[in-house]
């Protein structure tokens, strides 16, 4: 992994070592957060790279992780061992949040009322953001590949491995309910993002298409 720093006169490359295959990268201010999965199942870490100083620090994990979320104080990870992990944004090792999930979570999104939404195989699992306690499970029509939430965490969209976009919401409700689903891509939906001001979603897929859906 390399990073570049730029001044008025020159650019330099800085190379840093990470263990395993890169699975997720997340930026927060001057921090770049990275998680990996080792091909032999060996322990990896939460890597924190400070772009201002160039310093790389590690927070050890018992296994690997496939997804990252952060707010201004904490980081949440989807662990390959079935746990959702929580860590301080700046330092320290991630700690398991609540009991293991089955199947293991592969994607995470913030949900309203201090909750997290985790994609676990063919299910969408809602847990408490502070304690990891399971609150709700919703069935997906295919294996989930990606997830996103609107800025208020009221609407969730899950991208499936066969191209279906599934919508869930808790507008004026205590729990999430399925709204609708539609096949948009030919192949897995690999990335999703809500627009900041509109209930409009951008999706990218294995079919090399980028779509915008209201």
Q: What is the number of other CB atoms lying within 10 angstroms of the CB of residue 74?
A: 16
pTM: 0.90
**Residue 58 pLDDT > 60:** yes
Residue 151 CB partners (closer than 8 Å, separation 6+): 194, 196
> What is the pLDDT at residue 106?
97
Q: Give the Cα separation of 88 and 70 in Å (integer).
A: 9
**Residue 12 pLDDT > 80:** no
182, β-bridge pairs: 165
**Residue 73 pLDDT > 70:** yes
SS (H, E, C) the chain: CEEEEECCCCEEEEECCCCCEEEEEEEECCEEEEEEECCCCCCCEEEEEECCCCCEEEEECCCCEEEEEECCCEEEEEECCCCEEEEECCCCCCEEECCCCCCCCCEEEEECCCEEEEEECCEEEEEECCCCCEEEEEECCCCEEEEEECCCCCEEEEEECCCEEEEEECCCCCCCEEEEEEECCCCCEEEEEECCCCCCEEEEECCCCEEEEC
Q: What tens digit of pLDDT does each residue of 151-189 get?
A: 999 999 999 999 999 999 999 999 999 999 999 999 999
Q: What tens digit of pLDDT does each residue of 32-56 get?
A: 999 999 999 899 999 999 999 989 9
Per-residue pLDDT band at 63 (split at 50, 70, 90) = very high
């Amino acid at each position: 992994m390399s990073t570049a720093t730029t001044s008025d006169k020159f650019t330099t490359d800085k190379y840093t070592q990470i263990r395993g295959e890169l699975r997720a990268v997340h930026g927060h201010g001057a921090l770049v957060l990275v998680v990996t999965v080792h091909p032999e199942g060996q322990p990896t870490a939460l890597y924190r790279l400070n772009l201002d100083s160039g310093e790389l620090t590690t927070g050890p994990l018992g296994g690997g992780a496939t997804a990252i979320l952060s707010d201004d104080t904490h980081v949440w990870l989807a662990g390959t061992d079935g746990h959702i992990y929580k860590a301080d944004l700046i330092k320290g090792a991630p700690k398991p949040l609540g009991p293991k999930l089955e199947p293991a979570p592969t994607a995470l999104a913030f949900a309203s009322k201090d909750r997290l939404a985790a994609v676990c195989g063919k299910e969408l699992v809602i847990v408490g953001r502070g304690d990891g306690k399971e609150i709700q499970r919703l069935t997906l029509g295919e294996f989930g590949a990606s997830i996103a939430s609107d800025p208020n965490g009221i609407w969730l969209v899950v991208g499936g491995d066969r191209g279906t976009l599934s919508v869930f919401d808790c507008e004026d409700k205590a729990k999430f309910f399925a709204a609708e689903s539609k096949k948009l891509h030919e192949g897995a939906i690999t990335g999703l993002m809500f627009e900041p001001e509109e209930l409009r979603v951008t999706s990218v897929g294995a079919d090399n298409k980028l779509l915008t859906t209201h």
